[in-house]
Amino acid sequence: MFAWLRLLLRREVVINLHDGTGFRGVLYRKAGHLVELRNAERLEPGRNPVGCDGAVIIERREIQFWQVIRP
């Protein structure tokens, strides 16, 4: 695991995807080329955030950039 990614674990992040949507949640773990968010909300331009049940699994190649909400 990259050292910078280890620093983000258990922190609230916004993950922006290449298709213009995103997710806000707690980065729970990384497994290979996958990341897992918990307590996540789906973010779409022009719409209210929608809560997600359970965990959200995202492939790292789909991620355009990350933002850390809280240190």
| pTM exceeds 0.75 | yes
| Residue 50, pLDDT score | 96
> What are the structural domain ranges in the chain?
3-68
| Residue 30, pLDDT score | 85
DSSP secondary structure code for residue 62 in this structure:
G
CATH no., domain 3-68: 2.30.30.100
Q: What's the distance, CA 17 to chain centroid?
A: 9
| Residue 1, pLDDT score | 47
Averaged over successive runs of 10 residues, the pLDDT of the chain (71 residues) comes to 64 94 92 91 95 94 89 60
Retrieve residue 64's tokens. Answer: 């355009």
